[in-house]
Amino acid sequence: MKAYVLHGVNDLRYETAPDPAPGEKEVLVAVEDVGICGSDLPRIYRTGAHSRPLIPGHEFAGTVVEAGAGADRSLVGKRAGVFPLIPCRACGPCRRRHYELCRNYDYLGSRRDGGFAELVAVPEENLLLLPEGVSFSEAAMLEPMSVAVHAMRRGFKAGGTIAVCGLGTIGLFLLMFLKEAGCEHVLVLGNKEFQRQKAAAFGVPEADYCDVKTADAKEWLLERTGGRGADVFFECVGKNETFRQAVDAAAPEGRVVLVGNPASDMGLERDVYWKILRNQLVVTGTWNSSFLHEPSDDWHYVLERLAERRIDPAALISHRLPFDSLEQGLHIMRDKTEDYAKVMIDAASRG
């Protein structure tokens, strides 16, 4: 098969690789669409992966083409999205069914071969079958959408004012789901005209969007809330300055949800610590998403809204590229040569 194989830091090669063989209770998935995640960039260009050689890519969907020993053969021919985290099912969080917090997990695209390939071996337990009407490109976004939903559920507070700072892919998906959930007063902080346009498409009026390049984010948010601040502040950037803004602009007894992966070391200044104490803030992290094969989990929450056409994630696909141009998509994101939201690769276009 053709695949993008990471041999070392900044050494990604488009080459012929052995077809994977599905193991016990695994299936073989022919990849139809695969998205590029921001976390793929440091893995490929700066830090490397946990093991090499490795095929990156964890946001993908496809068709089951083969079942391994002990796997359900009726899955062959089915269309599916793929939950990339493979839990150990033995540690404390796994025993409580918080698989996203597994202490000994495996992971498609970072610890074992993933979706930048024609074929991927996947545990059958990690499949989410797709109803008619849900496209492969939409299903390839199930993972980032579920991450956004998981963050929303960690921070959700009925009523009040919600602030979203940072409109990368996860921030935009978070905004999409907050608006779909009926949250009326959502204040948004971004730094690009492209982001303002996307926010407007999700129903954010001009008055509720702040360009942080031209306005003081804290003062703007306090003014928009009558001096009270945000009841829930989603920090989707991962920088000291935006964390400080979140604490400064949170309402008394408010909640700060840390969503963005840290861009560098994070420090806690004395004044920031004092504000957390004196305003009795709840500061919480969020990580990955829940997948339990139950209607209540994050993935089924997203799939239900996709099937009922209550959301339109395709609006966030800024680039669609053929499989042999995947590196072009990586370079657009790495070098920021163009505005982008979600870069989607048509893996079915492989020659």
Work out the pLDDT band at 350, boundaries 50, 70, 90.
Answer: low
Separation of alpha carbons 301 and 303, rounded Å: 6
How confident is the model over 180-190, as a mean pLDDT?
94
Q: In the prediction, which pLDDT does 81 show?
A: 98
What mean pLDDT value characterizes the chain?
96
Separation of alpha carbons 96 and 124, rounded Å: 21
Which two structure tokens, joined as six digits, stand for 163?
A: 């602030």
The residue among 29, 7, 6, 2 whose CA lies nearest residue 18 is 2
Separation of alpha carbons 184 and 144, rounded Å: 23
Residue 351 in this model has a pLDDT that exceeds 60: no
Work out the pLDDT band at 201, boundaries 50, 70, 90.
Answer: very high
CATH 3.90.180.10 location in the chain: 2-140+312-349
CATH 3.40.50.720 location in the chain: 148-285
* Contact partners, residue 23, CB within 8 Å, separation at least 6: 68, 69, 121
Query: Tell me: the pLDDT tens digits for 80-120?
Result: 999 999 999 999 999 999 999 999 999 999 999 999 999 99
Contact between 281 and 249 under an 8 Å Cβ cutoff? The reply is no
Residue 158 in this model has a pLDDT that exceeds 80: no
DSSP state at residue 1: -
Separation of alpha carbons 118 and 86, rounded Å: 20
Query: Which superfamily does CATH assign the domain made up of 2-140+312-349 to?
Result: Medium-chain alcohol dehydrogenases, catalytic domain (3.90.180.10)
Q: In the prediction, which pLDDT does 51 show?
A: 86
Contact between 56 and 4 under an 8 Å Cβ cutoff? The reply is yes
Query: Tell me: the pLDDT tens digits for 317-327?
Result: 999 999 999 99
What are the residue ranges of helices labelled H in the chain?
40-45, 92-95, 136-139, 142-155, 169-180, 193-201, 217-224, 240-249, 270-278, 298-307, 326-335
Q: In the prediction, which pLDDT does 185 show?
A: 93
The partner residues of 26 in beta bridges, in order of sequence, read 123
C-alpha of 147 from chain center? 5
Which two structure tokens, joined as six digits, stand for 274?
A: 């004092």
Task: Based on DSSP, count helices (H) and strands (E) in the chain, helices before strands.
Answer: 11, 17
Contact between 1 and 31 under an 8 Å Cβ cutoff? The reply is no
Assign 212 to helix, strand or coil. Answer: coil
* Contact partners, residue 188, CB within 8 Å, separation at least 6: 163, 164, 167, 175, 199, 204, 208, 209, 210
Assign 73 to helix, strand or coil. Answer: helix
**Quick one: fold of 148-285?**
Rossmann fold (3.40.50)
Which two structure tokens, joined as six digits, stand for 268?
A: 């806690």
Query: Tell me: the pLDDT tens digits for 41-62?
Result: 999 999 998 889 999 999 999 9
Separation of alpha carbons 85 and 122, rounded Å: 10
